[in-house]
Amino acid sequence: MKSHVAMSACPICRKETGVLMSTKIMNGKLDEPFDQRVYIDPTAVCKECEETYLSVGIMLIDPDTVALSVIKEEAFKRIFTIPVPSERIAFMKESDMRAMGLIKEET
Ligand SMILES: [Zn+2]
């Protein structure tokens, strides 16, 4: 069933974060409705995961595939030349993460 509202979910544990998302009005018409009830929001990490993972690491996430990897701050500084993002979330292509061995290939 299509709906104009959906719940956002944490990209790490996939639990609902309680944040409601809604479609926007574009050119006088409502955007495409959601066809899922729950959507993963790559930037909305839940409190629990924030404390567990983001307090010690930086989350790299591909916003298109929601593939993600959490790496230690030291590792982030070693790999990237950019400063550690204040929100501790950085976007990166899944293919790049795989190429760098940050995501384990499923066997
Ligand atoms: Zn979570």
pLDDT tens column, 33-57: 889 899 999 988 999 999 999 999 9
| Whether residue 60 sits in one domain with residue 33 | no
Q: What is the pTM of this model?
A: 0.80
For 33, the domain range is 5-40
Kindly provide the residue ranges of all beta strands, DSSP E only, lying in the chain, ordered along the sequence: 5-9, 16-22, 25-26, 29-30, 38-40, 57-61, 68-72, 89-91
What is the pLDDT, as a whole number, of residue 107? 59
Distance (angstroms) between ligand 1 centre and the Cα of 57 equals 14
Task: Kindly report the average pLDDT of the chain as a whole number.
Answer: 91
CA dihedral sign of residues 24, 49, 83, 68: negative
Task: Give the sign of the dihedral formed by CA 32, CA 65, CA 59, CA 38.
Answer: positive
Query: How many structural domains is the chain composed of?
Result: 2
pLDDT tens figures, 65-84: 999 999 999 999 999 999 99
In a domain, 46, yes or no: no
Establish if 107 belongs to a structural domain. no
Please check whether residue 105 lies inside any domain of the structure: no
Q: Does residue 48 sit within a domain?
A: no
Same domain, 36 and 61: no
Over residues 13-18, mean pLDDT: 92
Q: Mean pLDDT across the stretch 20-29?
A: 85
Q: How far is the CA of 9 from the centre of ligand 1 (A)?
A: 8
User: 61 forms bridges with which residues in the sheet?
Assistant: 68, 91
